[in-house]
Amino acid sequence: MRQVTASGQTVKDAVQSALKQLNTTEDQVNVEIIDEGKKGFLGLFGSKRAIVKVSISENPIQLAEDYLVDILTNFTEEKVSVERTVQGNTIYFELTGKNMAMVIGKRGQTLNAIQYLVQIMLNRKAKERHQVIVDAEGYRERRKQTLVQLAYRLADKATKINKHVSLEPMPSFERKIIHGALQDNQMIETYSDGADPHRHVVIKPLKK
């Protein structure tokens, strides 16, 4: 963290001196007043300069992106480009490059693990909670469509055999896709069962 200690005739003057040294603006820093100073008699005798400590604020989203880049750098020798989009408290990171299949992993397990690590890191640094979505060349949308079709198929199966049908363990955001796809189906209900990382969706047929 870059920081400087500066002095001035007033606190404002001291802050401006520090900003000039850091080459930044006041909205990008934290200011700690060490001594408010004293004007003195007639502004001359007994005066004391104000002293402040000014440090550049850490941007938790940028730190999260840097962390993601570090993970990818250690994970693959190929260069991976990261494009960031912020929508409210949701941070999207879109990855592009060679060997994305390796980054995605089987059924997105590697991508999900990377996403989980980045979200944990971000929420440790940020003052408010964020959701992180890490995608690679549109995989999330393709996976969503696959899950929706899977939900429809297994809901039909549950009603035909009149028994509960359990899906494979999934992260919470994928379970939400299943629940959402079947929420208007009046013949079944869905719920999540088990503990992470084995928590899964169960489709339960309703009595006719």
129 and 71, same structural domain? yes
Residue ranges of the chain whose pLDDT lies below 70: 1, 40-46, 208
89 and 33, same structural domain? no
Given 118, 137, 156, the domain boundary residue is 137
171 and 130, same structural domain? no
User: How many other CB atoms sit within 10 Å of the CB of residue 185?
Assistant: 17
SS3 letters across 41-97 = ECCCECCECEEEEEEECCCHHHHHHHHHHHHHHHHCCCCEEEEEEEECCEEEEEEEE
Given 137, 170, 194, the domain boundary residue is 137
pLDDT of res. 36: 84
164 and 127, same structural domain? no
When divided into structural domains, the chain yields a total of 3
> Tens digits of per-residue pLDDT, 138-158?
999 999 999 999 999 999 999
The residue segments making up the domain with residue 186 are: 142-205
> Tens digits of per-residue pLDDT, 121-139?
999 888 889 999 999 999 9
pTM over 0.85, yes/no: no
18 and 81, same structural domain? no
52 and 64, same structural domain? no
pLDDT of res. 126: 84
